[in-house]
Each structure stands twice: as structure tokens, then as C-alpha cells.
A and B are shown apart, each in its own frame.
Chain A
């Protein structure tokens, strides 16, 4: 029996939900607003909310001083590349774990997840040294590889839970119908797993895009993505809040827009398997 909820109760819930939502979103909103203020208005006390002289000056200055598009391009290549590379490895891995599990499959999955519990800084030195040795420092390929490896456990886990939901009997039916391994994967499994693959791709682009620890430590100028772009504004120009905000807004805008358009898919992906 459905619980009856009074209209009053409903409006209260809506109010609380919106309040919490706005509270969480506030820093981002404030950053965006500040990016359109003058430096003086940005540090005004009491703060100005909406009624100030909206200006694009900060964006013009930021674009003039540093080459935004180069950072953007690096971000796209690193986030996109690490995701594609990761999927090429994660799909077959998740496939075999979901459909031909061995006694050790559970252990391997947990072991992979355990690597995410290690503080990243713990392996900074070894990885830094390896990067120097192989001349990967400040290269896009190096960063792509590291981000792929860092996100691989999550990709495999996500895909694994998705594939687990696909009934094995359907794959067996394909085998009985004369499909070889290639046809089974191409015509039956992949079309059925597309929602899961899409969610995984989206989440990993976002994770790679926002990754700051490795991108800041392993790049200098050539391969620096947008995270480094923001960082470069925070230290020397720490007092210029409006410009820092403009830089931040420019850095997060692409992924925010992508996230907005794919939110349904993303939420489904993250809660998949929670309820049947």
C-alpha cells in the first residue's frame, strides 16, 4: 500500500530538497557569478549578488594571457584517449569476469578496487621516476596512460556489474543459433550492453577531465590540461578572484555541459543493479 503524503508534507520536502541542492551547487554558482564581475566587485563587502556591472573583461584577459584552447585540447585528448584506451582493455576484462568467472574472479575484482584505496601520492615517486626514464614527463601519451590505469578499476567494475545483468541464457541461445564468439559479442552482447558502456564512458571522461593530482605533478607546459590551467591562475594571481573565477568557469564548462545533457544516462549507470 502506498503511503499517503499530504500536500503540505510534499511542499516541505520539495523546499528542503531545493535548499540542499542549492547549497551544494552554491560554490559553482558563485564562481560563475564572480567571473562576470570586476575585480573590485569580486571582493566587495558585503558581497554583491546579481546587481553588478556584468562584464566579459575577465574572460578576455584570461584568453589573452594564456592559450585556453591549447589546454582545452590537451584535456580532450587526455580524457578522451584514456577513456578509449581504458575501454579497449576493460570491456574484454569485464566480459571474461562476468561470463567465464573462475574461483579467483571475486578476489581479482577486490584487488583491483584495493588499488583505489592507496593514496595516490604514495606512488608518485615511482611513477615520476618511470616517467623520467621513459621520457614521458609532460607528454600527452604519458598522462593518457596514467589516467587510464587509475580509472581502469572503476571501468572494469562498472562494466562487470552491467554485464552481470545480462542473462547468460541469451548468450547461450546465440551460441545454439550458430553464432561464434565474434558474432555473439558483436550482434548480441554489445547492443544489449550499450547503455552500460555509454555510462561508463561518460563517467570516465568526467573523472579524467577533473583529475588534478597527476596532471599537475606530471606536466609542465606542453601537455598541461585545463586543471593545470586553473592552477596556474590560483598561485601567482591568487588575489584576482574574478579572473580566477573566469578561468575556473572556462575549465569546468565543457564537462558541466556534457554532464547536464547526459545526467539521466549517468544516474541510471551509477544506480544500475541497485534495484531490479
Chain B
């Protein structure tokens, strides 16, 4: 019911092309995340699907219906904005009921659906308050409530959690994932935070400068990044990218090795270096190792129990089967 197909979609603002011709299919019920650095066109792409921006050329089909020329109100999509975009002069109840009122539903049905959405989102006690009297998390929930009452063909989320504090963000992330499991409705979620992308998505679309760099499941992207950009973007902390002689040994221009795939020890190993900054997270410790002769600082992830001090001489051993190889163009060597 909520399949979205983009065909040769482009978008230019004056002379500037933001989205070069782009093809993408989002299957019904799928949780798709658009991720990329700021200015990569992910929000523009979402707004094109929403209809808040007009495509410069190309086709958008929602449920098989050509939609590029249909106004946003008629596309049957619901959107949750970064700023929540609640109506400040209306109560929570009226905010949530607004799309139903626009659809011309009778009052009894409006009330029934608002009550239902409010109970799902724990908003029942706040229905008669104004958005200004709510906390950030509650506002976010109202925005989601307003989206779910109308039972849309798909939900569009535009960086919905970036205004929340870190603890709340983790909680809302789970709630949105839970909501997706329950509703099984197509969701498109835009974020610059690769952790959100990895944890929530069925399918991740990595964008850079309007181009799709790679599409795939979180683990596919993690295990088989198609190029250097995806390799560096997905995964936290970032993959170590090493050039030069060490890469040449593996018949590659650049090799990549994730921090979790390097063994650190005091006794001996393939590379040596000195410990710089250590970040102790409790469960894990990240060591930033310097003077390895490999170019950049190498980041290593170790168990929380492992302890070295600043300036300690240590040895690193990468797991050979986990080394990613890239050619001069930055593409993955199979």
C-alpha cells in the first residue's frame, strides 16, 4: 500500500543541481533511512517525495500512482518535522485532530481516533494543553500523533530527533522503531546520524552531493561498503583508512580496517605505536594510537578492562580477513 518509486528524479535550484537524475524504490512497509553529511540532498529528496518541493524532472509514484504533480495534501503522506511544527494556537487535541478535520471526518470519529493515538503515545493527560506547555519529547510525540491519526500511506521523518537531548533521543528512537513494528507502514527517515540509521533502518540510502553512494541493509553497508565514502561514513568510531606501503602489501591503494577489528597488546604485533588519547566508555575503551608510521592516528576498540596509559608503547594486529581494500578511484576491490 505504500510503495514509493522515484524514476530519474532531478531537482535544481536555479543553476545549482541538488539532485542529479536519481532512481530509488522504497518497498511497502519498509523502514528506509536517508543518511549523509549535511548538504547531501537528503532533506530535499524527502521534500520532493512529500511534495513540498516540485521536482525539476522525473517521476514519483506512490502506490503506483504518478504523484509528482499532485499537491502534498493529496499524496496521502504524513510528515514529522525537525522543529515539530505544531500549531501553537491549538490544544494538543486540536493539533492531532487537524488532519482529520481537514479530511472532513465527523466529530465523534475525530475524537475516537485522537483518544486512541493519545493513549498509544502516552499523551492522554496532556490533550487540553497547548504545545508551549509541553516538553520537547512530548511535543515530538504530538507531532507523531498528528501523523499517525490519518493512517497515511507512508510516514516521512525529517531529522525528528535532532532537537532532543541524548537520553530522550535514544528513547524516542526505540519508540519510533516500535511504532514501525506495530503499524507496518512505510517510513522514510532522514538523519545525519549514522547511529540512528544503523539501529532503525531496514534499508539505508547513503547520499553524497545528491548522488546515491550505496543502498542496502545496515549490515551490508557495514560489511561491504561499496566505496571509501560509505566506509568512512558508516560505523562509529570511523574505519581507519591507511594508504601507502601498507596498502600496497594488500594490492590496494587504500585499505580500511575498523577499530573493532584490531587487536591491541603490549607484547608484539604487526604495527607498533604509542597511546594517545584513551576514551573509556566502561564497556569499551577507544585508544587513539599515534606514531604508527601509517599516516593518520589509528583508532582501536578494546574491551573496557584493557588499560594503557598515555604514552605507553603498544602493538597492533589487524584481523586480515576484516581488511577492506579500495582502488585508486576509491571503489571497493572484491
Closest CB in chain A relative to B104 CB, distance in Å = 9
Q: Does A170 contact B (CB under 8 A)?
A: yes
| Interface SS of chain A | helix
Taken together as a complex, chains A and B put the C-alpha atoms of A174 and B50 apart, in Å, by: 12
In the complex the two chains form, is B85's CB within 8 Å of A179's CB? no
Cβ-neighbour of B87 out of A175, A178, A188 (below 8 A) = A188
In the complex the two chains form, is B89's CB within 8 Å of A172's CB? no
Q: Does A191 contact B (CB under 8 A)?
A: yes
In the complex the two chains form, is B85's CB within 8 Å of A192's CB? no
In the complex the two chains form, is B77's CB within 8 Å of A176's CB? yes
Q: Does B73 contact A (CB under 8 A)?
A: yes
Q: Which 7 A-B pairs have the closest CB atoms?
A: A178-B102, A173-B85, A177-B99, A169-B85, A176-B79, A191-B89, A178-B73
Taken together as a complex, chains A and B put the C-alpha atoms of A25 and B118 apart, in Å, by: 56
Cβ-neighbour of B81 out of A173, A178, A179, A188 (below 8 A) = A173
Closest CB in chain B relative to A276 CB, distance in Å = 14
In the complex the two chains form, is B73's CB within 8 Å of A179's CB? yes
Can you list 13 A-B pairs with a CB-CB distance of less than 8 A?
A169-B83, A169-B85, A170-B85, A172-B79, A173-B81, A175-B52, A177-B73, A177-B146, A178-B74, A179-B98, A180-B73, A183-B102, A192-B89
Taken together as a complex, chains A and B put the C-alpha atoms of A179 and B87 apart, in Å, by: 13
Taken together as a complex, chains A and B put the C-alpha atoms of A175 and B150 apart, in Å, by: 14
Taken together as a complex, chains A and B put the C-alpha atoms of A173 and B98 apart, in Å, by: 10
Closest B residue to A191 by beta carbon equals B89
Chain A interface size range: 10 to 19
Cβ-neighbour of A172 out of B78, B81, B86 (below 8 A) = B81
Q: Does A236 contact B (CB under 8 A)?
A: no
Closest CB in chain A relative to B158 CB, distance in Å = 9
CB-CB under 8 A from B82, the residues of chain A are: 169
Q: Does B71 contact A (CB under 8 A)?
A: yes
Per-residue contact bits, chain B 67-93, to A (CB 8 Å; 1 contact, 0 not)? 000011110011101110111110000
In the complex the two chains form, is B89's CB within 8 Å of A176's CB? no
CB-CB under 8 A from B103, the residues of chain A are: 178
Closest A residue to B149 by beta carbon equals A177
Taken together as a complex, chains A and B put the C-alpha atoms of A179 and B50 apart, in Å, by: 14
CB-CB under 8 A from B98, the residues of chain A are: 174, 177, 179, 187
Closest CB in chain B relative to A187 CB, distance in Å = 8
Taken together as a complex, chains A and B put the C-alpha atoms of A187 and B87 apart, in Å, by: 10
Give chain B's interface residues, CB within 8 Å of chain A: 50-52, 71-74, 77-79, 81-83, 85-89, 98-99, 102-103, 146, 150
Asked, given contacts A167-B85, A170-B87, whether A176 binds B102 with beta carbons under 8 Å apart, the answer is no
In the complex the two chains form, is A176's CB within 8 Å of B78's CB? yes
In the complex the two chains form, is B71's CB within 8 Å of A175's CB? yes
Taken together as a complex, chains A and B put the C-alpha atoms of A188 and B98 apart, in Å, by: 10
CB-CB under 8 A from A169, the residues of chain B are: 81-83, 85
CB-CB under 8 A from A167, the residues of chain B are: 83, 85
Taken together as a complex, chains A and B put the C-alpha atoms of A176 and B84 apart, in Å, by: 13
CB-CB under 8 A from A180, the residues of chain B are: 71, 73
In the complex the two chains form, is B52's CB within 8 Å of A172's CB? yes
Closest B residue to A179 by beta carbon equals B102
CB-CB under 8 A from B74, the residues of chain A are: 178
Closest B residue to A178 by beta carbon equals B102
Closest B residue to A169 by beta carbon equals B85
In the complex the two chains form, is A172's CB within 8 Å of B85's CB? yes
CB-CB under 8 A from B79, the residues of chain A are: 172-173, 176
Asked, given contacts A167-B85, A169-B81, A173-B85, whether A178 binds B52 with beta carbons under 8 Å apart, the answer is no
Per-residue contact bits, chain A 215-241, to B (CB 8 Å; 1 contact, 0 not)? 000000000000000000000000000
Taken together as a complex, chains A and B put the C-alpha atoms of A172 and B82 apart, in Å, by: 12
Closest CB in chain A relative to B136 CB, distance in Å = 16
Taken together as a complex, chains A and B put the C-alpha atoms of A63 and B68 apart, in Å, by: 69
CB-CB under 8 A from A183, the residues of chain B are: 102
Most interface-central of A167, A178, A180, A191 (chain B CB within 10 A): A178
Other CB < 8 Å A-B pairs besides A170-B85, A173-B81, 8 of them? A169-B83, A172-B72, A174-B87, A175-B73, A176-B73, A177-B73, A177-B150, A191-B89
Taken together as a complex, chains A and B put the C-alpha atoms of A173 and B88 apart, in Å, by: 12
Closest CB in chain A relative to B306 CB, distance in Å = 45
Closest CB in chain B relative to A170 CB, distance in Å = 5
Taken together as a complex, chains A and B put the C-alpha atoms of A176 and B85 apart, in Å, by: 11
Closest B residue to A176 by beta carbon equals B79
Taken together as a complex, chains A and B put the C-alpha atoms of A188 and B89 apart, in Å, by: 8
Closest A residue to B143 by beta carbon equals A173
In the complex the two chains form, is A176's CB within 8 Å of B72's CB? yes
CB-CB under 8 A from B83, the residues of chain A are: 167, 169
Taken together as a complex, chains A and B put the C-alpha atoms of A134 and B169 apart, in Å, by: 68
Closest B residue to A171 by beta carbon equals B85
Taken together as a complex, chains A and B put the C-alpha atoms of A89 and B36 apart, in Å, by: 44
Taken together as a complex, chains A and B put the C-alpha atoms of A180 and B78 apart, in Å, by: 15
